[in-house]
């Protein structure tokens, strides 16, 4: 048995408790840090071989453990750019050095350039909608750009496509089939069973352009037919610019400036379902120079009243009123006229073992060999959580538990110091034997 050995063991015990106290100090200091994950100290024994009746004291080794996978409490705020993750995953952020890292700290605010930056100075990264709906890069951070919410001035988007759906009354009478009496021929009158709908689209300057849609039944199969025909009935669709409608009389016909800007035929089977392979019509507007492809495949012909609803794309010239973020991570610009435009989509990232991530200053993490590779995806896919706007995830530190740990660490440190002091006293006795 070595007296020096027992003193060294006591020193290792004091060092271990000092490490424990350091983790407690960090946790208490960050009890109010957004997205902070507590750390703790675990201990393992160090044993030296002993022989005969002699026991050689070893020591104790400490290691730090992270509780990154433990969810903190979510609290709601008044800022729409405050973001919290409910479930698994991390925000991808970028520091001043341009290196992407992971964090749960979503206290983002707009900086002087419009980028969303958290309290530690890390910029939120996302995929831009500039080239259309973005696709995620699952095994890396390629394609990510800083999320910038500066949307000043007016924005106008020309209509290029739209969806028009509804029902055409199967009981409508057949219109005279002479071309001169159909709406597409810009006739002066229409039948009582011709149904008119109107829809607003937008030109390249954001001006509203209204189009009048006329639906007229032009044919129907014999009743009862000898065999179910592929086409039970047909309807002509004729589209005109509303601005070209006649201003006098009781009808919008005749339309000026060349008549119809689009025509097609919709065929329906005996069940009222459309049989056209495309079910669409192009509006070729010579005034605006636009071509708008309208999807009409959602129309049915059933024994019910006429009904129709249209949703063209495009947007009138309107200033941005606000920026909102939904649970899927899509950042929308909300315009004064009530329309929304997607700007970015915020992805989340995760690793196989979050508790093994490397902790860095600023409450951010980086992947390593023990944590596993980083996998990126959109919120609510592949086990990733949901983004909550106007909310923050708090620290997962249990303050009462930390104070208890601090008292235990203090007592253990004192006890180890007593062992060291006792060894020192024994050494004094041993040295004084020579006197």
d(CA 181, CA 179): 5
Q: Residue 348's closest CA among 116, 102, 120, 123?
A: 102
Q: What is the location of CATH 2.60.98.20 in the chain?
A: 159-313
Instruction: Report d(CA 27, CA 15) in Å as an integer.
Output: 19
Q: Which H or E run contains 199?
A: strand 195-202
Per-residue tens of pLDDT for the chain, all 435 residues: 578 878 888 888 999 999 999 999 999 999 999 999 999 998 888 888 877 777 778 788 888 999 999 999 999 999 999 999 999 999 999 998 999 999 999 999 999 888 999 999 999 999 999 888 899 998 889 999 999 988 766 778 899 999 999 999 988 888 666 667 788 888 766 777 789 999 999 999 989 999 999 999 888 776 555 566 667 888 999 999 999 998 877 788 889 887 899 999 999 988 899 988 678 999 999 999 999 999 999 999 999 999 999 889 888 887 778 889 999 999 998 887 777 889 999 999 999 999 999 999 999 999 999 999 999 999 999 899 999 999 999 999 999 999 999 999 999 999 988 988 888 888 888 778 866
Reported pTM? 0.68
Q: Which CATH number fits domain 159-313: 2.60.120.310, 2.40.30.10, 1.10.30.50, 2.60.98.20?
A: 2.60.98.20
Residue 406 · residue 21 · CB < 8 Å: yes
CA separation for the pair 117, 119 (Å, rounded):
7
Q: In angstroms, rounded to a whole number, what is the distance separating the alpha carbons of residues 149 and 31? A: 30
What is the C-alpha separation between 193 and 186, in angstroms, rounded?
Answer: 16
């Amino acid at each position: 048995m070595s007296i020096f050995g027992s003193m060294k063991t006591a020193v290792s015990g004091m060092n271990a408790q000092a490490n424990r106290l350091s983790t407690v100090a960090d946790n208490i200091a960050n009890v109010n840090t957004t997205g902070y994950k507590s750390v703790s100290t675990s201990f393992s024994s160090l044993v030296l071989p002993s022989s005969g009746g002699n026991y050689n004291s070893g020591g104790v080794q400490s290691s730090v453990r992270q509780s990154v996978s433990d969810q903190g409490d979510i609290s709601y705020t008044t800022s729409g750019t405050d973001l919290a993750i409910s479930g698994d995953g991390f925000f991808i952020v970028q520091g001043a050095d341009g290196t992407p890292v992971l964090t749960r700290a979503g206290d983002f605010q707009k900086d002087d350039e419009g980028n969303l930056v958290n309290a530690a100075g890390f910029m939120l990264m996302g995929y831009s909608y500039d080239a259309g709906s973005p696709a995620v890069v699952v095994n890396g951070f390629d394609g990510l750009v800083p999320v910038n919410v500066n949307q000043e001035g007016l924005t106008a988007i020309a209509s290029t496509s739209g969806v028009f759906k509804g029902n055409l009354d199967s009981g409508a009478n057949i219109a005279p089939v002479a071309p001169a009496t159909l709406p597409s021929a810009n006739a002066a009158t229409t039948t009582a069973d011709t149904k008119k709908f109107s829809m607003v689209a937008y030109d390249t300057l954001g001006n509203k352009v209204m189009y009048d849609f006329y639906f007229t039944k032009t044919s129907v199969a014999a009743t009862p037919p000898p065999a179910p025909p592929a086409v039970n009935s047909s309807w002509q669709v004729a589209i005109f610019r509303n601005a070209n409608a006649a201003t006098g009389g009781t009808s919008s016909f005749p339309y000026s400036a060349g008549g119809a800007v689009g025509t097609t035929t919709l065929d329906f089977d005996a069940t009222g379902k459309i049989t056209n392979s495309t079910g669409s019509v192009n509006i070729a507007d010579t005034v605006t120079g636009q071509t708008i492809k309208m999807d009409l495949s959602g129309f049915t012909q059933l024994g019910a009243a006429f009904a129709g609803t249209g949703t063209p794309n495009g947007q009138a010239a309107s200033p941005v009123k606000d920026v909102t973020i939904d649970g899927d991570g899509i950042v929308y610009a909300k315009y004064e006229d009530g329309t929304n435009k997607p700007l970015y989509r915020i992805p989340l990232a995760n690793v196989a073992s979050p508790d093994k991530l490397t902790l860095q200053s600023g409450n951010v993490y980086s992947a390593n060999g023990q944590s596993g590779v980083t996998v990126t995806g959109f919120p609510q896919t592949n086990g990733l959580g949901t983004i909550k706007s106007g909310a923050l995830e708090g620290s997962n530190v249990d303050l009462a538990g930390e104070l208890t740990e601090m008292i235990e660490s203090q007592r253990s440190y004192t006890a180890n110091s007593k062992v060291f002091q006792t060894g020192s006293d024994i050494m004094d006795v041993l040295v004084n034997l020579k006197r």
